[in-house]
Chain A
Amino acid sequence: DVKVTQSSRYLVKRTGEKVFLECVQDMDHENMFWYRQDPGLGLRLIYFSYDVKMKEKGDIPEGYSVSREKKERFSLILESASTNQTSMYLCAHRGAFTRETQYFGPGTRLLVL
């Protein structure tokens, strides 16, 4: 069974706090992704990483950064959380080739007060 673990299912933070969301996969996959999902806007790509220490901006990177120090772990960082970052955050991973399936984690629902 494919296993993708996200550090928290629910998280409540205050405006201005630094927030870390972690994602761990056990399939030794090269590619990892962070999306956010909002009603009416669907899923949008924030950042992705195609290898350790490598990253690329997605469609909405503003206000976020990422870290990939180990192949299995991909962290999303909100440097200074704001209320408009309240959302569902989904991590995904995929093997080396674009033809492969993306596997998604259970999601973290973040509320910023």
Chain B
Amino acid sequence: KQEVTQIPAALSVPEGENLVLNCSFTDSAIYNLQWFRQDPGKGLTSLLLIQSSQREQTSGRLNASLDKSSGRSTLYIAASQPGDSATYLCAVSSGNTGKLIFGQGTTLQVKP
């Protein structure tokens, strides 16, 4: 059974710092891995999608990497800003329906 773990559960950093969020999964048979952002009380916004054949994806200050063989992904946020404060969720798509299995999320606070 696929399990997804995110470490740390919470993170607080000063503005301007570069930071890394971690995601691990137990079964390497995935179609893709997706990083989402969730603001309090809101839905999920897709940030980056990495296909199983890819190693990384970039969007602006965000860079996500995928090491399928070791079951790990990282989300790198450069030059963090207070507006980056949110919960970041990692999810893998697997099984013949491609349903998403989510981690518990990392809640990030960027202090001005």
Interface residues of A (CB under 8 A from B): 4, 31, 33, 40, 42-43, 45, 48, 50, 56, 58, 90, 92, 94, 97-99, 101-107, 109
Interface residues of B (CB under 8 A from A): 31-32, 34, 36, 41-46, 49, 51, 89, 91, 93, 97-100, 102-105
- Known contacts A106-B43, A107-B42, A107-B43, A43 near B102 by CB under 8 Å: yes
Could you tell me if B43 and A90 are in contact, using CB atoms closer than 8 angstroms? yes
Could you tell me if A50 and B97 are in contact, using CB atoms closer than 8 angstroms? yes
Which residues on the B side are within 8 Å of A101 (C-beta)? 34, 46, 49
Please classify the interface of chain A as helix (H, G, I), strand (E, B), loop, or mixed, using the class held by over half of its residues: strand
Report A62 CB to chain B, min CB distance, Å. 17
Query: In the complex the two chains form, what is the Cα distance from A90 to B42 in whole Å?
Result: 9
Query: In the complex the two chains form, what is the Cα distance from A94 to B34 in whole Å?
Result: 13
Query: In the complex the two chains form, what is the Cα distance from A90 to B99 in whole Å?
Result: 14
